[in-house]
Amino acid sequence: MENLKVTLSEKDIPYSWYNLPPDLPFRLPPPMNPATHKPLEKDALRAIFPLGLIEQEVSQEKWIDIPGEIRDMYRLWRPTPLRRAKRLEEYLKTKSRIYYKDESVSPTGSHKTNTALAQAYYNKKEGIKRLVTETGAGQWGSALSFACNVFSLKCRVYMVKVSFHQKPFRKSLMHIWGAEVIPSPSELTESGKHILKEDPHCQGSLGIAISEAVEDAVKNKDTNYSLGSVLNHVLLHQTIIGLEVKKQLKLAGESPDYLIGCVGGGSNFGGFALPFVKDKLKREALKMIAVEPAACPSLTKGLYEYDFGDTACLTPLLKMFTLGHNFIPPGIHAGGLRYHGCSPLVSALVKNKIIQAVAYQQIEVFKAAVIFAKTEGIVPAPETAHALKAAIDIAKREKKAKCIVLNFSGHGLLDLSAYDKFLAGELKNYAYPKHEIKRALKDLAKL
Ligand SMILES: Cc1ncc(COP(=O)(O)O)c(C=O)c1O
């Protein structure tokens, strides 16, 4: 009988994270200072990030040691299992083998804990007392709240207003771990007030919540900002996922044909896929597929340009696929995928055709999620279900037996109201918001 799980022991948890940039056959365009339009000076980030993370952001070392304190915490749930979705395969009547890397077993329910602990650790080490951040669906906010609790830091989370109301229980999790949760846009920051003046009913977006959190960090000396995705150091911490998958596939005697992940800011997909980029450069047949929502299609419909990471233009300019920093995506239930841009690293890989991108509407994504829940038992987060939808489509389309591996970024046990809406036929698809995107793209910085 074939094994349904490929498990590793605690001693197999990687000792280093993998830093892809020095292995790339091209140079990543640097972040730019919006005032001078020149490459950003390292010191410019000191107002909001600790030196340890800034060094990782620009590092040219291929391997970066995981400090013992962080690796020790990872032992709470890592290594995560690589599971074979045999019952899903049978349901689909596919010859292909489908595996999923189960990041939902983390204490907070998603991959976000991998970087939250690392970020809290480096901030604590450098004497910071308080972290502020943004969150969409609340997975990142709860992960950072947990990590701040572990390292005795205060934590404030600006939660996108639409998700604040859609996902009340993630708010409860953040409260349990001692964090303060503020619906964004709020009256607590200048950027929030400005947005509310223009539109008192604004539902918020990740771009707006980032502006509020960055502003809070800049104004408070003992406070730093923490970002749950997009930046190089965040993807670096997440490479622990792909490094474990490599070991697990080897144990299972498999070589992947498809690597699939959902993409919001790009951290779970990046962490899962970046350790395989060197393989992809040698083996054209290996396909790496980033899956995004059709309502917020940065990789498939955005422009590859320099843009701000937030709405109030407080961040450096990043070269990435973007829909424009003023674009406010429709209120889909995959709140963690409602980001106007995408990690510069993932964007550059898409631009260089190393990664392909596809987009799906939310109803078809929820259908895939329910098929998965019925066959494999685990209820996926709506974000994760995007990857599942792509994997199911590929398994149905492929006539030959392929090895399909996806990153199962999180569970959806706190997203059940979205499932209720889907089952009651109340979910709707959003047409590609062409006019909104066209309008937002007009505000791109001209470099
Ligand atoms: C479960 C889950 N998957 C995926 C994402 C998307 O983020 P990223 O692209 O950074 O992995 C999120 C973001 O909140 C999430 O909560």
Instruction: Identify the domain boundary among 166, 193, 225.
Output: 225
Domain annotation covers residue 45: no
Query: pLDDT tens, position by position, for the chain (447 residues)?
Result: 789 999 999 999 999 999 999 999 999 999 999 999 999 998 899 999 999 999 999 999 999 999 999 999 999 999 999 999 999 999 999 999 999 999 999 999 999 999 999 999 999 999 999 999 999 989 999 999 999 999 999 999 999 999 999 889 999 999 999 999 999 999 999 999 999 999 999 999 999 999 999 999 999 999 999 999 999 999 999 999 999 999 999 999 999 999 999 999 999 999 999 999 999 999 999 999 999 999 999 999 999 999 999 999 999 999 999 999 999 999 888 889 999 999 999 999 999 999 999 999 999 999 999 999 999 999 999 999 999 999 999 999 999 999 999 999 999 999 999 999 999 999 999 988 889 889 999 999 888
SS3 string, 285-316, reads CCEEEEEEECCCCHHHHCEEEEEECCCCCCCC
Domain annotation covers residue 10: no
Q: Are residues 213 and 264 in the same domain?
A: no
106 lines ligand 1 (CB under 6 A): no
Domain annotation covers residue 46: no
- For the chain, helix (H) and strand (E) counts, in that order, are 18, 15
**Which residues, 6+ apart, have CB-to-CB distance to 438 below 8 Å?**
none
Q: Identify the sign of the CA torsion 387, 392, 394, 400.
A: positive
319 is written with which tokens? Answer: 């070269």
203 is written with which tokens? Answer: 């539902």
Do you find a cis peptide bond into 185, omega within 30 degrees of 0? yes
Instruction: Identify the domain boundary among 179, 195, 225.
Output: 225
Domain annotation covers residue 249: yes
Q: Are residues 369 and 414 in the same domain?
A: yes
Q: Are residues 249 and 122 in the same domain?
A: no
138 lines ligand 1 (CB under 6 A): no
Place of tokens 């595996």: 99
Cα-to-chain-centroid distance, residue 121: 20
Q: Are residues 165 and 34 in the same domain?
A: yes
Give how far Cα 331 sits from Cα of 202, 241, 363, 390, Å: 11, 29, 13, 21
Instruction: Identify the domain boundary among 225, 245, 269.
Output: 225
Q: What local confidence, expressed as pLDDT, does residue 224 receive? A: 98
Domain annotation covers residue 2: no
Alpha carbons within 13 angstroms on the beta-carbon side of residue 215 total: 22
Mutate to test the pocket of ligand 1, among 383, 388, 411, 415 (most ligand atoms within 8 A of CB): 383
135 lines ligand 1 (CB under 6 A): no
Q: Whose CA is nearest to atom 1 of ligand 1?
A: 410
How far is it, in rounded angstroms, from Cα 325 to Cα 443? 8
Nearest-Å Rg of the Cα atoms of the chain is 20
Mutate to test the pocket of ligand 1, among 262, 291, 332, 346 (most ligand atoms within 8 A of CB): 262
Q: Are residues 24 and 84 in the same domain?
A: no
Q: What is the CATH number of the domain that holds 367?
A: 3.40.50.1100
Give how far Cα 391 sits from Cα of 152, 231, 324, Å: 40, 26, 29
Q: Are residues 250 and 184 in the same domain?
A: no
Q: What local confidence, expressed as pLDDT, does residue 432 receive? A: 81
Q: Are residues 139 and 274 in the same domain?
A: no
280 is written with which tokens? Answer: 């992809």
For residue 410, the CA-to-ligand 1 centroid distance in Å is 8
* DSSP letter, residue 100: E
pLDDT digits (tens, 9 = 90+) for 428-438: 999 888 898 89
Domain annotation covers residue 48: no
Mutate to test the pocket of ligand 1, among 144, 409, 413, 415 (most ligand atoms within 8 A of CB): 409
pLDDT digits (tens, 9 = 90+) for 367-378: 999 999 999 999
pLDDT digits (tens, 9 = 90+) for 228-280: 999 999 999 999 999 999 999 999 999 999 999 999 999 999 999 999 999 99
293 lines ligand 1 (CB under 6 A): no
Closest of 61, 63, 58, 64 to residue 28, by C-alpha = 58
Element containing residue 125 per DSSP (H, E):
helix 113-125
How far is it, in rounded angstroms, from Cα 271 to Cα 274? 6
407 lines ligand 1 (CB under 6 A): no
Which SS3 state, helix, strand or coil, does residue 190 take? Answer: helix
109 is written with which tokens? Answer: 């329910």
207 lines ligand 1 (CB under 6 A): no
For residue 262, the CA-to-ligand 1 centroid distance in Å is 7
Are the C-beta atoms of 226 and 185 separated by less than 8 Å? no
For residue 269, the CA-to-ligand 1 centroid distance in Å is 9
For residue 409, the CA-to-ligand 1 centroid distance in Å is 7
Structural domain total, the chain:
2
Domain annotation covers residue 74: no
Q: Are residues 344 and 385 in the same domain?
A: yes
Q: Are residues 250 and 360 in the same domain?
A: yes
For residue 335, the CA-to-ligand 1 centroid distance in Å is 8
Residue 119: domain span: 16-39+55-65+112-225
Q: Are residues 33 and 93 in the same domain?
A: no
Q: Are residues 98 and 201 in the same domain?
A: no
Q: Are residues 301 and 350 in the same domain?
A: yes
379 lines ligand 1 (CB under 6 A): no
Q: Identify the sign of the CA torsion 315, 319, 320, 321.
A: positive
Q: Whose CA is nearest to atom 5 of ligand 1?
A: 336
Domain annotation covers residue 251: yes
Provide the pairing of β-strand 258-262 with 317-322: unpaired
- The phi, psi pair for 72, rounded to 5°, reads -60, -45
- The phi, psi pair for 431, rounded to 5°, reads -65, 155
Strands (E), 124-281: 130-135, 154-160, 180-184, 223-225, 258-262
Q: What local confidence, expressed as pLDDT, does residue 117 receive? A: 98
pLDDT digits (tens, 9 = 90+) for 182-224: 999 999 999 999 999 999 999 999 999 999 999 999 999 999 9
Are the C-beta atoms of 176 and 140 separated by less than 8 Å? no
137 lines ligand 1 (CB under 6 A): yes
How far is it, in rounded angstroms, from Cα 28 to Cα 58? 10
